[in-house]
Structure 1
Amino acid sequence: MLGEAARAAGYRLIVRDEVGSTMEEARRALDQGEPGDLWIVARSQNAGRGRHGRQWGSPPGNLYASLLLVAPCEPALAPQLGFVAGLALHDAAASVVGISSPSLALKWPNDLLFEKAKTAGLLLEGESRAGRLSVIIGFGVNIASCPDDTPYPATFLKQQQPRASVETMLAALSTAWVARFAAWSQPGGFGPTRAAWLERAAFLGDTITIRLSEGPVSGRFTGLDPGGRLELETEAGRRLIDAGDLYFGGPR
């Protein structure tokens, strides 16, 4: 069930036993004229995916959810919703598990880490139809299990808090989203959102490697610019990066 604040704000919920992916279910709902502010949750997925179309295992016991928003903002501002969603994810996990920063941290651009192990991720997709922007935010949270064949450490919430559940995480996440989205929607709201995200950022000030389409680039992660791009101090000077895969440490 959604949190009380989410229900009061008009958000609705659809729960499915099994779907290909909640992202595709949200897109199908949009095709059918869905007006938005809709959470779609599945107990399992058989075609879950992450960034760049990567397949994502989705066994029962974890949270698989997508939030469909219709006309939430101007198209140019849509990428900022990834930071809003990340903060909501961090808030919710901290509430459910009782652990916060620095043990719980946000890895640019879209992961939640506990002690540097991936615990959750999100995926942001947008499209314009008839001049109106729609955004789908997909959340995947490891609650009862995590993949064991990943190239990076992973963990799940029940290892830290045995009482963690899909239900408690969904209620906390939907509640946190309402608060974070409302704060961001205020004039100048991305400034405080950006500051709050940086307070929870993993590897800030450390040497990192970003894998880009043209190849990897390494440098010191110094912050986010006012538009949300990652700031990287490299040997060749400062670079601003819109998107990429972040790895901790030097070149690889």
Structure 2
Amino acid sequence: MRKLPSGTLIEVFDTLDSTSAEARRRAESGAGGPVWILALRQTAGYGRRGRRWEQETGDFAGTLFFKPDAPMERWGQLSFVIALALAATVDETISEDKIALKWPNDVLIEGGKCGGILLENLGSHLAIGIGVNMVTAPEGMPYAVARLVDHVSPPPGPGAFAASLDGHFWTYYAEWKKAGFGPIRDAWLARAGGVGSAITVRLPNQELSGVFEGIDETGALILRSEAGTRTIAAGEVFFSPQSQE
């Protein structure tokens, strides 16, 4: 275990069931942070709604385990903070104009999903899980996928990638702490894919279609349709083919 320049610890495992599951175990044992938990290989990685997240050796799997210095009701905003940090990290290896952010927690390269983010409230601590397709990409997904190796070879190793991601995260985190969600929201929207375009939002019991108008002051998606404008706090977005650029 070593420290990054921010003071955050980083621990790399050859194999774990899941970096997020390891963060949960630490929370249950009373351990503290901040610490990055990395796995060179995961055997039971998962994403939103418990979906399996496939990851092979060479891909990035990491979880930041820490206690945010902010009221718990604001912790969800850190999804946008880490998304900006992840995009900035990928910027270091790929042209910025190829990268976009997708609500609520994906990073796209030329319209294909390359990275995903999962926030889990663990009581007194928060786990921010991140998976990035470095060398492989899952097959049979209902959306386009991408991997870093098709744009930069070799892609950065997990330790170097985590160190860069950590630096960007704490920079955006400090801005969020000082100025609130407004500047983070503006920065996220400046990099968001599909704003002003037709999308479909999949909810647990229905699908809604309309125009993606942006996000509100809480981070909820704003969807405009013939039925009116509504905000959506959680869901899965699918772009029309024309809006994935």
Partner of 1:43: 40
Partner of 1:107: 102
Give the Cα–Cα distance (whole angstroms) in 2 for the partners of residues 171 and 148 of structure 1: 29
Q: Secondary structure at the match of 1:98?
A: coil
- Asked if the contact 1:15–1:41 (Cα under 8 Å) also holds between the matched residues in 2, the reply is yes
Q: Secondary structure at the match of 2:176?
A: helix
Give the Cα–Cα distance (whole angstroms) in 1 for the partners of residues 174 and 57 of structure 2: 32
Give the Cα–Cα distance (whole angstroms) in 1 for the partners of residues 146 and 219 of structure 2: 27
What displacement does 1:143 show? 0.8
Give the Cα–Cα distance (whole angstroms) in 1 for the partners of residues 90 and 113 of structure 2: 12
Point out the structure with the larger strand share. 1
Partner of 2:162: 170
For residues 13-66 of structure 1, give each alpha carbon's deviation from its aligned partner in whole angstroms, at most 9, with x where no partner exists. Answer: 111111110001111112222222110000010000110100111110011000
**Can you give the 5+ residue segments of structure 2 that lack an aligned partner in the other structure?**
none
1:136 equivalent to 2:127? Answer yes
- Asked if the contact 1:72–1:134 (Cα under 8 Å) also holds between the matched residues in 2, the reply is no
Partner of 1:249: 240
Letter of the 2:187 counterpart: A
**Can you give the 5+ residue segments of structure 1 that lack an aligned partner in the other structure?**
none
Give the Cα–Cα distance (whole angstroms) in 1 for the partners of residues 221 and 69 of structure 2: 23
Normalising by structure 1, what TM-score? 0.91
Letter of the 1:137 counterpart: I
Letter of the 1:46 counterpart: T
Give the Cα–Cα distance (whole angstroms) in 2 for the partners of residues 8 and 135 of structure 1: 21
Q: Secondary structure at the match of 1:226?
A: coil
Letter of the 1:190 counterpart: F
1:227 to 218, 229, 235: 218
Partner of 2:172: 180
What displacement does 1:189 show? 2.3
2:144 to 142, 150, 153: 153
Give the Cα–Cα distance (whole angstroms) in 2 for the partners of residues 88 and 189 of structure 1: 16
- Asked if the contact 2:6–2:167 (Cα under 8 Å) also holds between the matched residues in 1, the reply is no
Normalising by structure 2, what TM-score? 0.93
Q: Secondary structure at the match of 2:223?
A: strand
Give the Cα–Cα distance (whole angstroms) in 1 for the partners of residues 128 and 18 of structure 2: 12
- Asked if the contact 2:23–2:37 (Cα under 8 Å) also holds between the matched residues in 1, the reply is yes
Q: Secondary structure at the match of 2:194?
A: coil
Letter of the 2:95 counterpart: I
- Higher mean alpha-carbon deviation, 166-175 vs 62-71, is at 166-175
Matches within 5 A, 1:204-219: 204-219=195-210
- Asked if the contact 2:27–2:122 (Cα under 8 Å) also holds between the matched residues in 1, the reply is no
- Higher mean alpha-carbon deviation, 18-27 vs 155-164, is at 155-164
- Asked if the contact 2:222–2:229 (Cα under 8 Å) also holds between the matched residues in 1, the reply is yes
What displacement does 1:249 show? 2.4
For residues 57-102 of structure 1, give each alpha carbon's deviation from its aligned partner in whole angstroms, at most 9, with x where no partner exists. Answer: 111001100001124321110110100010011000011x23113x
What displacement does 1:164 show? 1.6
